[in-house]
Structure 1
């Protein structure tokens, strides 16, 4: 009971911090004179087309759930980033770590957002670091508060993962990389169950950073392309198609190497319907 209360306190404290950070937006960046004139001209034209009683609602920060909300959020944060880079960086890191630490789905949208806001290189570095740190925080939270509950909720999955970890102790790091490149079990479950099956935190940390690098790379590059593409013609240009081909090749290469190594060294069985590896039973 004490562990549950402690976990609830951590979640409440983190939620209050993130809400207060998103609630108090700094003042918007100042516009240059020609930008101000253009903005006034656009606002005047829009006011003539809208009813007199219409009022503009203030922008609110929230986790994006689709591409439209993602594009709107990216434009808003890019607007603030011109003069409030520190605030945007702090807000993005806090939101990312919140999702990753508590195993909340939707981190792919934040990876795409990283590419749209910070660019291909800074965005990729940021996504990899935050993914690794957030997953490690999930590991530590599970180790401190959640062992008993995870075992009770997923007894079969935990026992299966425990058995496969024991069978691959001599090449445990490559086994963890294989699970990240070819997720036979969801990443959120692997993050929470890793301390239960006695995976060292150093192996866990490095395997997350390296194993999720191709996935983060694809998401960040997608965000960069979304921020640059304004029409379908731009998306299907030869330059974009060649860029997509290069991204696919770079993302598939590490997985192919790990798969080649796993066929010789790792002890893996056929995946079962529930997404985890299952033992082969002889009748």
Structure 2
């Protein structure tokens, strides 16, 4: 119970800090809204809201890009804090934040940010699990932990490439790997670099897609030759390292029994409790 109380206190503190960042923005330059017929131009303040579709995603990205011109450091702090919050507390789904990184910071700065934040956040999650939650991970997911433990022992001589394989081909969700690796006695350096390298293709696809989406204004733009060429290049660059790792995995790693159905086992373990 003490471990859960400590973890709860950390979550509450981090949530409060993120709330303060998002609700106490420094004053930014007001921007003019186009006037309707017979009406004056109106001044609109910046406001934050969670996007629910492509249009709202572009609207949020444009707003933050404008705000970034005067408060680059604050936007960077806000984005990094939100990303680390999600990763540290094993909240699934990083594609939106990766796309937002590409839309706000551009494809290359966004990619560097996404890779660094994914790695640092996952490492925080590793440390939190090691400190507060190892026994709870085993309690709630006994079968899945046992399967991973067996596979880790079978691939102990090629442990780094085994973890890299799991990042390239997520037979097990990334958030679950982050909280389970301390239970499996994975060394911190191996964990760190397997995340940093293994999630580059996924981060690249999301960030580059976000950068493209922030630049298009209609469906016609999506099907332009320039956009299609960029999407094709993204696919090729993302698939090449995955193909090489998969070829190596088949020859040197033992991954039998680890497929997409293993995610169903996680849900079964949850239902047992």
For 1:237 and 1:128, locate their aligned partners in 2 and report how far apart those are by CA, in whole Å: 29
| Count of residue pairs brought into register by the alignment | 263
Give how far 1:105 is off: 2.4
Contact 1:116 1:227 in 2 (8 A): yes
Alignment correspondent of 2:75: 88
Give how far 1:4 is off: 0.3
Does 2:132 match 1:145? yes
SS of 1:196's partner is coil
Alignment correspondent of 1:27: 27
Q: 1:105 to 1:47 in 2, by over 3 A?
A: farther
SS of 2:170's partner is coil
Name structure 1 gaps, 5 residues minimum.
32-38, 50-54, 278-283
Name structure 2 gaps, 5 residues minimum.
266-273
TM-score norm. by structure 1 comes to: 0.87
Alignment correspondent of 2:271: none
For 1:172 and 1:276, locate their aligned partners in 2 and report how far apart those are by CA, in whole Å: 25
Contact 1:74 1:113 in 2 (8 A): yes
Q: 1:122 to 1:234 in 2, by over 3 A?
A: same
Q: 1:208 to 1:172 in 2, by over 3 A?
A: same
Correspondences of 1:86-165 after superposition (within 5 Å): 86-165=73-152
Contact 1:147 1:196 in 2 (8 A): yes
Alignment correspondent of 1:9: 9
For 2:264 and 2:241, locate their aligned partners in 1 and report how far apart those are by CA, in whole Å: 22
SS of 1:275's partner is helix
SS of 2:27's partner is coil
For 2:52 and 2:178, locate their aligned partners in 1 and report how far apart those are by CA, in whole Å: 23
Contact 2:30 2:46 in 1 (8 A): no
Deviates more, 1:133-142 or 1:71-80: 71-80
Give how far 1:270 is off: 3.5
For 2:64 and 2:104, locate their aligned partners in 1 and report how far apart those are by CA, in whole Å: 7
Alignment correspondent of 1:201: 188
